[in-house]
Structure 1
Amino acid sequence: MDKNRAKKILVDALIYVFLIVFTLVVIYPILNVISISLRPADKLLSTSLRIVPENASLNSYVQLFTRTPFLRWLLNSTLISAVVMLTGVTLASTAGYALSRFRFLGKKAVMIGILITQMFPATMLLLPLYIMLIKLHLLNSYLGVIIIYTSTALPFCVWQMKGYYDTIPVSLEEAAMIDGCNQFQAFYKVVFPLALPALVITALFSFMSAWAEYVVAAQVLQEPELYTLAIGLKQFESSMATEWGLYAAGSLIVSIPAVLLFLFLSRYLISGLTLGSVKG
């Protein structure tokens, strides 16, 4: 065996070892949460290294759905996240297109303003937004948190949509308009399908910005029937004791919709990257 081949085998082996170790490091916390959710009592720590503990039980999951308003929290989070996602995709796709294709007074100021807003986290803007919601009588309402989530997610979404539209040749729209399309039809039938990868990123970012958010929701939503999953799971923690079994079971279930959405949209992301703009 020559030296080059031996060196390549060694490099490949080191890469695989690194990937395996890294994967185990990432998976271990998830397996630990699964183990906690299956323990018969609310035990956080255990001397056993078994993933499936002795006397494993699904009692925590049963109690989660029967003894707590978890389904209500799930419905609230789903509704809020879905509206934020749809609103984010709609506004970002049109605003990004306008910034990419049209010239108008104040365009540069708008783009600078979008960049500046990215310098401030949502928590820093919470106080002025909270005051605005009070004056608009939207405190303690779905619409209030939807407005905050959408407004904080939009700057990034608009900027990345604008950047993606810039990569699509204007000649494609001009050809469509020569064939009889107006500006909106050229956008909807030609540009919009080609921007599918950016739209997927926008949808994912908008959804995730609302799905598991806690700080804003905890300040705006005060009625128990309006609680989202993040606030609801916090109710399992108290100053005297924490229901770790319910906490772990709820955390696992909360992660499922986000993973399913990513798997579903990733298919469109890949297909969008392979789309051609010229017919054969």
Structure 2
Amino acid sequence: MISFSILIANYNNGKYFKECYQSLINQTYKNWEAIIIDDASTDDSVQMIQSLIKNDSRFKLFHNTTNEGCGSTKAKCVTYAQGDLCAYLDPDDALYPEALEKVVREFVSRDDLAAVYSQMILCNENLVPGKIYTGTKPIYNNRYFFNYPIQLAHFFTFKREAYLRTTGINTNLKNAVDQDLYLKILEQGAVKYLKEPLYLYRLHSNGISQDKAKQSSKESFARVIHDTMKRRGIQTINRKAVPEVFTSSDEIFKLLNYQTNRMHRLINKIKVTLDI
């Protein structure tokens, strides 16, 4: 039976963790563990988490003695994971009850899959569902796919063995950690898109991926894309040279402007449909 590791990097999200915890308890698929690392929170996160998980051995809580940031903490999560499959779940978000079961079903049916991802639904601060995030779409996965514009997001699950074939998460990243992970995993095998929301994404003022961090995220994402280009040995993009050294985010995104035009996206949609 396939085992599943849910990876949770927590920093000051104690007040939201109960819904995250409850969504795991309610999973229809039962063969899972939850690896939680608290990144030296200054709120009551540790006490809140401990009070909820104390009677369930599937939850394993670890602590950073000092604040190390998102990249380092998420990278540590994988080192503790024992599951065949892994997925990150933010402590302020939640999963639909059948999320793990539906994902496992896809991996069982196809040996060539390195990852499976789904739609997510945007929720308010109280985790009340609103609209489905429309950016998530089926992708044509080749060496020129950089998830720009964003087409691949939560709920992203991957084989642990595929992750171990990569260089892993860049521990220096404060933003765009997930984007870095996606692009590395996509180099390891096929990917399957599930056109249904399996993930509840909470919108709130403390979310590190929202407005106040947008500029920093843009810079980090550009660096991730540049690193990906170099890792894949790509020297030119659409007949334009890839810079040897990263200088600015604008320089990188200008190389990819053609990927936002309608014709390019239509061609990729046809390729996905025909599976070529």
Same fold per superposition (TM over 0.5): no
Structure with the larger strand share: 2
Question: TM-score normalised to the size of structure 1?
Answer: 0.23
| Higher RCO (CA-CA < 8 Å; seq separation 6+) | 1
- The two structures have a TM-score, normalised by structure 2, of 0.23
